[in-house]
Chains A and B, each alone.
Chain A
Amino acid sequence: MKILIIGSGISGLAAAIASADMGNHVVLVSPYPSERAQSVMAAGGINAAVGTAGEDDSYVHHAMDTIKGGCYLENEDDVRQFCERAPENLRWLEQMGVVFNRKEDGAISLRAFGGQSRKRTAYAGASTGKQIVTALVQKCREYEIDGRIQRRLGLHFYSGLIRDGVCYGALFCQYFTGVLQAIYADAVILATGGQNKLFGKTTGSELCDGYAAGRLFSQGVQLRNLEFIQYHPTTIETDYKRMLITEGARGEGGRLYYLDGEKRVYFMEDKYGPKGNLMSRDIVSRCIYDCPSQVYLDISFLGEKLIHERLEEVYQLCKDYIGLDVTKEPIPVAPSIHFFMGGIRVDRNHRTNILRLYAVGECASKYHGANRLGGNSLMAAVYSGRVAAEAIHREEAVKVRVENFASYIEQEEALLNRIKESRSQFPSVYILRNLAEIMNDNLGITRNRKGLSEGLEAMDLYLNVMKSIKFDHTVSLYENYRIDSMLLLAKAILCSAMAREETRGAHIREDFPETKEAFQKCSVAELVDGQIQINFEAESCEKESAWYENSDKKTG
């Protein structure tokens, strides 16, 4: 069976390795090598209830924390399965040589992370994502050598080859020639990451622009829970981007405070007790947002030894970019966009609503509900990649009639050529800058109807303008053709945020401050006859279900 995987961060690599393990042929496509993927920026850790911290942890607790952190939106069986397999996935990574921190007895060290009842976050210093990428790349290389995985660099996703609800492969655009190239496969796994670029500068990679999700949305793929956008509570400002201070800093004991005159007010601890600094991210971000003055994160009292041993990257980052010595001074922090709980709608096998099209990693929406727990994204990336690969293998290629896309490809090529021959009045960066401004203004930590309608109006305007905008010769072809789909995705996010008339997790509506039973559902966005439709569908997560009650008892 031939499997096409788009994106080579952790989820794409995991899917590729797992597929090759089972003897399938993989084509792994990405514009850049894995070292450039946003995965390398993941810092703090990866969750698995391996219980090596001397606490009575189990996957049940992990699942409960995940569901609770996500405000009861996710299907409990799916989350349970995700958590149940986390220890095995951690071992899988260990076997591939990931350099995890260990205790003296050799067992994997665990640190405390936000919103979790037990210590269950395994880590590799403060560069866990990078360490995992390194090991996965090496494993992937073994399969590249024996031919099971074929890697293709320098190709940008263009569109899915989709007809009548079935996916046959994808079209890619070559960076230079602008020539479209089709790659056909028995199944396609999308692993293209989040959509930070819609917001301009965030903590993430410049490369995650949401284009693939937006384009596929226009081709009939359903999206889910787009309104849930995670603001990471502790980021620092530099002149051109916000940089993340890992949650590991608070996991190791770091404390948040603001100054009232001379007095330090430890607002999280005052409100939530000694574990207050490690509440889930939605809560901490909201509290920081409500603080009367600049908030600081203090880790200096942890001592130089611990900081250099476990948080060296935090030390270096602050030293290099803001000239601050974290062993001596507190770090000024503020929340910033960090992760998208929403994305492509998938079932427990990571199938989308299009046959033979799968989505994994951050581009898929699964497990995290209204708010993701720190350490769950890396595990979800590994888990989803493996699960999709297994499902494809198990189900074998869904046999379909071979379709001929030649005329579709010709048509798209002609379209691109027409565009290329024209000239635009508006530079593409002008549109991107405005897009980012609209998104930041109206999808902040708190939202309201007025802002969202203004955002929608503006987005409609730009979508309309785009119809007449032609080629901007100062940037690449990809930077031209991606804008339309980015705007469409942005509009779908605004629509989803508008439709959810309640406050839940990371979605805080000033005009609807209550959490409503009626909205204990996932928003599903779909493009029907050119119109964005939002429906709410329950994922059958019963707060009162027997499983939940039982596990509640277990936790005591």
Chain B
Amino acid sequence: MKIRIKRQDEPETAPYWQTFDFFGKGRKTVAGILDEINYRDDLIDENGVPSRRIRWECSCMQKMCGGCAMVINGIPALACGTFVDTTEEELLVLEPLTKFPVVSDLVTDRSCILEHQKAALMYLGEKSAENEKEFANRYSAAKCIKCGLCLEVCPNYVGGEGRFYGAVLANEAYLLYTSSENRKKAIAKEYRRHFAAGCSKSLACRDICPMKLPTLSSIGYLNRTRL
């Protein structure tokens, strides 16, 4: 199989494409493939040119850390959660996420996600009594890995500078709203400003989320709250 990768040496340099041969057996995750390619003694592309190893962000290799989000055959996904059949005559195309600045190769700078959470004052304050009814959804919402895939696919998310912060913020707001004693109002207000005001309900965020976060119920819950 051939692997075509959109590469970039540094943040400011121009991207270029490079293709590698990969002879694997059976079903493998994209992360597994990248790992194998990088661990060869020499990395040579399909034309025999020795190459720099492929940069991609990874920590857990099992869908727990959000590092490896990239665009795989045109679809944004986690490399460690996406399986491909390596025996088939296939072309695997890997590109960095498009809504975040590229650091190098498949690594993007997603620090804006954290900046947004700060800008929207997403913190708990005093904790309220347990809200057992919401337990299951709260547990799920807390599993957001800040991978940014929901932003990548959202038609309303225009990048770091905009005011709309996407599903990742809606879920954080829900989690905090349901357990805060003294900041409910502030959280709901920020949610409105940075999410509800810009959401056109494409719901692409719900379908793409690798952690299957309950984005719809988070939104529904917060939309029902009154300021």
Contact = CB atoms under 8 A, between A and B. Distances in A.
Interface residues of B, number: 57
Contacts of A139: 123-124
| A interface residue count range (under 10 / 10 to 19 / 20 to 34 / 35 or more) | 35 or more
A489 B175 CA distance: 42
Given A32-B59, A142-B123, A239-B28, A102 B142 contact: no
A243 B125 CA distance: 36
A474 B124 contact: no
Interface string A459-494: 000000000000001111000000000000000000
Contacts of A430: 41
A127 B142 CA distance: 10
Contacts of B175: 97, 134
B62 A243 contact: yes
Contacts of A38: 59-60
A40 B172 CA distance: 17
B76 interface: no
A40 B122 contact: no
B92 to A, nearest CB: 16
Interface string B31-59: 11001101111110000001111010111
A260 interface: no
Contacts of A134: 142-144, 175
A155 to B, nearest CB: 13
B117 interface: yes
Interface string A5-49: 000000000000000000000000000110111101100000000
A205 B38 contact: no
A499 interface: no
Give the interface centre of A243, A430, A474 by most chain B CB atoms within 10 Å.
Answer: A474
A176 interface: yes
A40 B61 contact: no
Given A97-B179, A474-B52, 13 more contacts: A37-B59, A40-B60, A97-B175, A99-B138, A102-B130, A125-B139, A142-B123, A142-B125, A145-B121, A175-B103, A429-B39, A474-B43, A474-B50
30 contacts: A32-B59, A32-B67, A35-B65, A36-B57, A36-B65, A40-B64, A97-B176, A99-B135, A99-B138, A106-B132, A124-B142, A131-B139, A131-B143, A134-B142, A138-B123, A175-B103, A205-B59, A205-B60, A207-B59, A238-B32, A239-B29, A239-B32, A243-B62, A317-B62, A320-B63, A321-B62, A429-B38, A429-B40, A429-B53, A474-B53
Interface of A: 32-33, 35-38, 40-41, 94-97, 99, 102, 106, 124-125, 127, 130-131, 134-135, 138-139, 141-142, 144-145, 151, 153, 175-176, 205-207, 238-241, 243, 317, 320-321, 427, 429-430, 433, 473-476
**Closest 4 pairs between A and B when the two form their complex, measured CB to CB:** A142-B123, A240-B32, A36-B59, A134-B142
